[in-house]
């Protein structure tokens, strides 16, 4: 591996840094996107059961909000009911929508960085290719004529950087697409559940 890095020259180092950052982001997102941290099983059913007869206390609402991202959205609706003297269904829905936007920002954290690496890595590889070509042509000029060592080094720089740029970009793009789809699925499920919970609160507490 060290011999490849030496043959690729200094342009390979930005790509190595990008690969390390991309790997860290992918691992971090996999950990963050566990279903238990986003939408725990039966959380909505448990919240609806707990509010069939009365509103939960502030402590229980805070516990709900601390369970997961979904709990933050459901808890926002309950906090609106407790804090307002005459809450309307629109107030409850607006509170949960605002919480949903905050949750969305949290879920999309670091995705833009991963997308940037996927876009920039081929360009960095192309930069290495251009530098390798410059070294090739630079090594073939002058009074000494052809320089096989400079030619070989320039080709190595060009090819290794092109290949490594694609090696970094392709997995980064694939994982970005995968995470983007997963976030959209989570957001859709939470939106549907929040609307169901809002209707439940409206019926149980006679909101008008």
Is the pLDDT assigned to residue 88 strictly greater than 60? yes
Cβ contacts of 198 within 8 Å, gap of 6 or more:
77, 89, 92, 93, 96
Confidence of residue 205 (pLDDT cuts 50, 70, 90): confident
Alpha carbon 202 to its chain's center: 34
Q: Is residue 184 part of a domain?
A: yes
In a domain, 5, yes or no: no
In a domain, 3, yes or no: no
Q: Which range marks the domain in which residue 110 is found?
A: 14-22+38-204
- Residue 130 in domain: yes
Its pTM stands at 0.84
As for how many domains the chain has, the answer is 1
Burial of 112 (0-12, 13-18, 19+ CB in 10 A): exposed
- CA angle 153/154/158 to nearest 5° reads 120
32 inside domain? no
18-to-13, 163, 164 alpha-carbon distances in Å: 9, 14, 11
């Amino acid at each position: 591996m060290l011999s490849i890095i030496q043959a690729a020259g200094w342009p390979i180092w930005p790509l190595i840094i990008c690969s390390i950052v991309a790997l860290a982001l992918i691992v971090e997102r996999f950990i963050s996107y566990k279903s238990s941290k986003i939408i725990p099983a039966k959380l909505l059913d448990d919240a609806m059961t707990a509010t069939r007869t009365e509103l939960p206390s502030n402590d229980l609402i805070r516990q709900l909000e601390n369970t997961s991202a979904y709990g933050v959205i459901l808890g926002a609706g309950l906090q609106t009911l407790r804090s307002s003297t005459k809450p309307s269904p629109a107030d409850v829905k607006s509170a949960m929508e605002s919480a949903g936007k905050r949750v969305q920002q949290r879920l999309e954290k670091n995705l833009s960085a991963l997308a940037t690496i996927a876009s920039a890595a081929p360009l960095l590889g192309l930069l290495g290719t251009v530098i390798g070509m410059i070294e090739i042509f630079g090594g073939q000029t002058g009074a000494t004529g052809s320089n096989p060592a400079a030619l070989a080094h320039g080709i190595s720089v060009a090819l290794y950087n092109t290949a490594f740029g694609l090696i970094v970009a392709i997995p980064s793009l694939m994982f970005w697409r995968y995470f983007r789809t997963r976030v959209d699925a989570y957001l859709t499920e939470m939106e549907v559940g929040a609307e169901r919970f809002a209707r439940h609160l409206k019926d149980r507490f006679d909101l008008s």
